[in-house]
Structure 1
Amino acid sequence: MTALIANGTILIVILATDIGRRRVTVTRIVRSVVVVAVVVAIFVDSVPTRGDNDLSLQLVGVGTGAICGLAAGALLPAHSYPASGRLYTVGGIGYALVWIVVSGGRVVFVYGAEHWFTADLTKFSIDYGISGQDTYANAFVFMSLAMLLTRTTVLLGKMRKRRPPTRRAPFPATSDARAG
């Protein structure tokens, strides 16, 4: 249930802030980082390491989230408008579908683990040294967070790439009073 609440929270934040034409601002970037910090503080009590592969499974969650975040970021085109110099992203149906499908997949897995393939998952956990449901919950929470942070990193990259070059004043000419 913990992973589902974290998953739903992140999905709502993403869809609310990225769908449609949205300005890229520092506040928008910071909001994502704050969401990650809050979700970790609320939903991650510990990082299970009792099982031989607990840490590995959680790292797989991070890696999968990063890959999904790159895919989502690729579907979030950025445009700068010369008149204002502002950067905007346009989150469309493809972008929304990536988030919905990935989030829905996590929900289906959790439901399946409780109703469809409980015995198989228990056997898998024993065979591969995974200590329990907290490890799976963390893997899904870390996947969500990595996806969000990777999307945020992609936005930062687009922001830096599209930012108009700043004009620097040339160094003032120096005169050497001793030279005659």
Structure 2
Amino acid sequence: MSPFLTALIAGGSILIVILATDLGRRRVTRPRLIRSVIAVFVILGLCVHSLPLGGNDPSLQLLGIGTGVICGLVAAALMPVEWDASGAAHTVAGFGYAALWAALSAARVLFAYGSEHWFNDGMIRFSMEYEISGADAYSNAFVFMALAMALTRTAAIVARCRGRNGARQWSA
């Protein structure tokens, strides 16, 4: 699968799932959080076909994960957790949250498209110079970035809810 198609499928799918489950004021429930995590792993299974480990491929893929964690923390900061009178947790995600996810998804897709159509020669030179094995390493880095962002956002919600509720369980 081409890097563009991989970025389009992974980025678009995660964007749809995240925005559909997060926009507005939403009650924090196990099924809501689990649904996002399941979607992330389904996309991982569909889009990552190999794990290149030669040259600087691992560094590039780890860079994708690290960037995703940072972006996930920013996304989580744009989605505060509030509690109602009964003590139930709710997240509130608005325009800034949606804009961040949309912008990063679009940037991944545009970069993948550009690497195939606008600056292919430059990508080849860069890959040779920095010992990147090829399209799979770049595709994985972008998929891992999107996945790390989604998982970090989920972990931040869980951490904030546990911090407030202690051992109390969320609703099902």
Paired with 1:22 and 1:98, the residues of 2 have a C-alpha distance of 18
Q: How far 1:39 sits from its partner (Å)?
A: 1.3
Matched, 1:30 2:60: no
Q: Which residue of 1 aligns with 2:134?
A: 132
Output the amino acid matched with 1:53: N
Matches within 5 A, 1:55-66: 55-66=58-69
1:80 corresponding residue in structure 2: 83
Q: Which moved more, 1:119-128 or 1:24-33?
A: 24-33
TM-score by length of 1: 0.87
Tell me, which stretches of 5 or more residues in structure 2 are unaligned? none
TM-score normalised per structure 2: 0.91
Paired position in structure 2 for 1:94 = 96
Computing the radius of gyration from Cα coordinates, the structure with the larger value is 1
Residue number in structure 2 paired with 1:147:
149
Structure 1 window deviating more from structure 2 (110-119 vs 87-96): it is: 110-119
**Structure 1 stretches of 5 or more lacking a match?**
167-180
Aligned-partner Cα distance in 2 for 1:3–1:165: 39
Q: Is the 8 A contact 1:85 1:164 kept in 2?
A: no
Deviation of the 1:75 alpha carbon: 0.4
- Cα deviations across residues 137-161 of structure 1 (Å, max 9, x unaligned)? 0000000000000000001011112
The number of aligned residues is 164
1:165 Cα deviation (Å)?
7.0
How many angstroms does 1:164 deviate by?
A: 6.6
Of 122, 126, 134 in structure 2, the residue corresponding to residue 120 of structure 1 is 122
Select which of 11, 14, 21 maps to 1:10: 14
Identify the structure with the greater helix proportion: 2
Are the equivalent residues in 2 in contact too, given 1:3–1:138 (CA < 8 A)?
A: no
Q: For 1:40-89, what per-residue CA distance to the aligned partner results, in whole angstroms no more than 9, with x for missing partners?
A: 22111111113x1001000000000000000000000111012x221101
Contact 1:54 1:131 in 2 (8 A): yes
Name 1:107's counterpart in structure 2.
109
Q: Where do 4+ consecutive residues of structure 1 move more than 6 Å?
A: none
Which residue of structure 2 lines up, in the alignment, with residue 68 of structure 1? 71
